[in-house]
Amino acid sequence: MVAPSTYFSFVVFFFCSSNFAFNSAVQTTSPFKKIYAFGDSFTDTGNTRSASGPTGFGHVSSRPYGSTFFHHPTNRYSDGRLVIDFVTETLSLPYLPPYRGHKGNAPHGVNFAFAGSTAINHAFFVKNNLTLDMTPQSIQTQMNWFNKFLESQGCKGTVSSSPECKAVFDDALIWVGEIGVNDYAYTVGSSVSSDTIRKLAISSVTGFLQTLLKKGVKHVVVQGLPPTGCLPLAMVLASEDDRDDLGCVKSANNQSYTHNVVYQKTVQDLRNQFPDAVIAYLDYWNAYAAVMKNPKKYGFEEPFMACCGSGGPPYNFEVFSTCGTSQASVCSNPSQYINWDGVHLTEAMYKALSHMFMSGTFSHPPFGSLMDRKQHV
């Protein structure tokens, strides 16, 4: 049996080729010239390193991470590109540089996402003695970094307060990747309820979005949580009788689904508060579930098993031998796998999800309408 402290350490989810031939909903000429991205490991393009990221997946700076597209590690938690990378390709922009280590101007934007980040501030977890192997960064940390970045560009106010601020925000898309999965994971086995985490996490992200919108940003994309019960780590740790109609962990999926229902109501409230802004909600949960219901339609042969890991079928995931360790091995065909390392997804899955988001099917309103709105401003 895994010791409680070790179990807690590893149960943390640590959320941490060519462009798509998208349909006409996404135009070929992008009105956006830069992106500012936030989130956790599903969006982080290099702010984390092996030594600074979540310890359960401490080999992101080593092979086989990055092996599919970049052919070397880029500190992305995948074998290749992430959703945000496909977004930049679609908008004909270069890949976003990570904030940490970035110097000078950022004509095409910056990525502030950090693997292991939480929605709730770190102090809450410290107060509840829930900081074992925890990444201290939160969405508020990323806001602090963003404000420092703005100051470095000479911007100290709202969009309209100065030419410097106008230059930073003009033609910018704000991308807020999924954030909140880690908050639930860090409290597994504690006395802190899911209801408490949901309320605090959504309140924190709402405050984050309000701060951005008060600065005068007009075009924002936010992602909901994925069905976390479909991840190999969750499948390994949950009871076999805790399953839903997707074959995933029912309790975990219900948790993330409920979170998204409340989050979407909050997003609608923000739309009402800031009618001049366009806020698109990406339905990560249902997009992922659609792939799980018919994986072969999207080219996947292995919906549950990690490509890189150890232990073999059915999940190829062991908490002490994660991807990058000497005991782990990597599959020869990552494009046929949904999951990369037990928690994070393969480039192929990110590509499929990107198409589903950008084509409009799982974006509310459709991403194409956000593009249209920007072009006619």
Q: Which residues are catalytic?
A: 41, 341, 344
Longest dimension (CA), the chain: 61
Integer CA distances (angstroms), 146 to 3, 15, 39, 211, 346, in order = 39, 20, 13, 11, 28
Nearest to residue 5, comparing CAs of 135, 127, 128, 132? Answer: 132
**Is the Cβ–Cβ distance between 344 and 78 less than 8 Å?**
yes
Size of the chain in residues: 377
In angstroms, rounded to a whole number, what is the distance separating the alpha carbons of residues 120 and 197?
8
Peptide bond into 314 cis (omega under 30): yes
**What are the backbone angles phi and psi of residue 174, rounded to the nearest 5°?**
-95, 125
Helix (H, G, I), strand (E, B) or coil at 118: strand
CB burial of 29-68 (b: ≥16 within 10 Å; e: otherwise) equals ebbbebbbbbbbbbbbbbbbebebbbbbbbbbbeebbbbb
* Residue 249 per-residue DSSP state: B
